[in-house]
Structure 1
Amino acid sequence: MPTDLRRLGINATTVAWGTHLCHFYESTQDLLAAAVPYFQAGLETNEFCVWTLPDSVRAEAMDALARAVPDVDRYLAERQLEIIPIRDWYLAGGTFDGARVSSAWFQKLDEALARGYAGMRVSGHGDWVEERQWHDFSRYEAAINEAIRDRRMIALCSYSLGSLGAAAMLDVQRAEEEARYRTLFEASHDVILMMNTAGDIVDVNRRGEAVSGYSQHDLRRMNVYRDLMPAEDHPVVRRLLDELLKGETREFQVRWKTRTGDIVYLDGASVPHFSLTGEFMSVCTLRDVTERVRAEQRITAINEQLRALSARVAAAREEESARIARELHDQLGSLLTSVKWELEILEHQCATAAGGLRSNVRERLATAGNLIHSTIETVRRISSELRPAILDDLGLAPAIEWQAQQFEAATRIRCHVHVDALLPEGLKPDREQATTAFRILQEALTNARRHSWASRVDILLQQRDGAFVLTISDNGVGIGSKAVNHSLSLGLLGMQERAALVGGKVEITGAPGRGTTVTVHVPVTRPSPES
């Protein structure tokens, strides 16, 4: 069923197919003021039009229509417009038969669609109804109101206030209110659905067609659990219904399987409703958020890919650092040591040379030896900074203690380390996790040296809830929340990303004048007996 809106012609209003309107009028002029522009809009938009009229106003109606639509004779000749006396239409054979009249409307609609018209626009009239016929006529109006929902048909029913009794007017007003709410119901850009506690769909608007691919007719015979929702989403709706019965409401998200087998995501809200028979119903509004969810999923996937790439880059960098450190230590370090030994031998041999030459040579040899010794120490320092051997040889805790000693010696900032004595031997971070914690420690100490003006740093390594927790606290000026969350705080962002790569997290807290605390959580699983 298409969801396009049609120009009503009255007050620049648009309505959906399946709309049923009621019009009360006092005079013929009131009747024509609504009906003429109503039919003018239908004729101009390729709709088949049927106007049932009392004989008493036919001539005046034709004059008014001819003034508004100069080609009215052509429309009549081509049978795009039919004007039928109300008694001939409603009381054929002298009696009113609601089923026959309904069937006649729908037969005309089928003929109109077969002839290429967009749909059918009709105007009924209630002046012929007598008091004894109101019950049957009200049932007919309710049936028409329900039946045209799924059809390319718009109906305008006119009633003269002078001919209606109080009871009849109430019936018509109720029908009008139903039609008005039905128009709002069908025009909504969200799916509006009513279902019972078993999940049977009692009613659904046209937006449900666009979202699911099923017609309204089919949807009203479906069960949301059986026909639309994946099984894993069933508990969401069952929980929702239980909460509604308790008077609680909340927002939720569910998925539907469409007619083509695709999955759509719907954000929803629901309110309780009780039918006239007391049966509990849930009225849900559902908004299609599939594009948003798909975009979020793509962003998440891209972030995961970037993190995986970052992890590979970090691992490659650590491996390269370790290789360079080994080369510096094993190759260049040993060569420099050999050169130093040769110089020491040469210095010993020069001890027997002539006095002046001996003194000069020994002085230069001592200078060269000092330079080589300094170079060896530099190589060792660079090698340790690239990849501390102690981290691989002895593990994370000794490496932390070594780094603290190095930091204190270089900065004169007192550094105290406490390692939890209860750390179990069998629960150790792997190489990647240990490297992550160690690098975050180095970054935190660098920040303390550069920014904190601290005189003391405390480092605590402990086990908590299956994770190693490393805490670095200083007594410096303290970091503010704005600095923690600043997008350009690359060092802090780097800590958080490093931790995320091994499934951990970093918390950075502080306050002006109260120091800064960096807490690193690294989850560690106990190795299996096989490993």
Structure 2
Amino acid sequence: MIPIEETEQLSRKTGIDVLGRMPWGTHVCLFYQTRKDLIDILVPYFKAGLESNEFCMWITCEAVSEKQAKEALRKAVPDCDKYFKSGQIEIVPYTEWYFKEGTLELQQSLKACIDKLNQALTCGYAGIRATGNTAWVERRIWRDFIDYEKKIDDTIGRYRMIAICNYCIDKCDTSEIIEAANSHKFALIRRKGKWELIKNGDRKQAEKRFLDYQKQLRSLASELSLTEESDRHRIATGLHDKIVQPLIVSKMELDMLRKSVSSIERHEALSKICHSLGETIQSTRLLTLDLSSPVLHELGFEAAVAEWLVEQIQKKYGVISEFKDDGQPKPLDNDIRAVLFRDVRELLLNVVRHAHTHNVNVSVRKVGNQICVNVEDDGIGFDPDKVLAMDGKIAGFGLFSIRERLKELGGYLQIDSQPGKGTKVMIMAPLKQEKPNTGEKV
């Protein structure tokens, strides 16, 4: 293998406006949401590489298939087929690159990358330009894959390689976003419709800069979470206004028609239709509640939690629940209200799915300038230190993500649990502060 000499850090045209020109050894993490995001970044990236006499390799998965990748390249790259015929670009399924006879071989993949570079240089290419998608990576192998990414990041800087690793942001929790970004020199993410570049920099830099960088990522992850909540509310409102309400009106009209007909057969047929409509209305209402609680936006946090306890935990799962509210006014910013409700909902789902409990109690009270929410069960309990140390990767727990979301909003999470002794989770978050009255007349 042929490393880059220290004086040979030649910049390469990336084809991506926000990246511009980058030296060999650049390792980029791309956070995407849609197939269009991938195509918009990767097609000009490979177009620039092909035109710069670089060997190009696209490792695909279901996000963008081999066929879709070829079609996108053919639309953007003149005489694209000549590059395929000459072997200057290869499109490889992830199953062939990362696996050998069905077994994951990450170390072998790293060696294969160096071998590809040597072959490319021998054939007269300037170097390698590659991309790989991680949508196939399961949680059970996440830690191994991140270690693999770190080895690439430590190695790639010495060779004539440029790589973009693609992560679907909707499949990553906050901790995974941070880990993925930290294992690359740069991170690309779309924010408010525009692509932004976040620089990781030298890991030997001061701790403050590293913490600032992590704070940026937490902020972005929090913003994405709030955007998701807004979308869920919009969809739920649409379901209620455009589907549930018209269905209710239709059922009322059918009921009136059913009562007016004299034919027994028609009466029975209309009764069946009314019954079916009633079930559809109820199912759609439950779907709306799962997406976003209308009560949360109309009556507030406390009322929404109380309703969710009854409708979901008690009626759906059969777990006895109790809700207590101290009755004090607890004004919340819209963002904090949405995050709190999501977090409490996740905690309650964890209880019914994992705790093997018969009772769950939720209490809400005002403590100084904060709201305090306690979720308590009499289930099997667990070791909080072990769970949080694993960054929330125990299926269904998500405690790390809840803690990170609260931290970004100025709150915190406290867990009191032991195996066999149930669990008590306390959430604290800031209340909305009223603007002081200056006494000035307007």
Structure with higher RCO (Cα < 8 A, 6+ apart): 2
> Would you tell me which structure has more helix in proportion to its own residues?
1
* TM-score, L = length of structure 1: 0.41
* TM-score, L = length of structure 2: 0.49
- Compare CA radii of gyration and give the structure with the larger one: 1
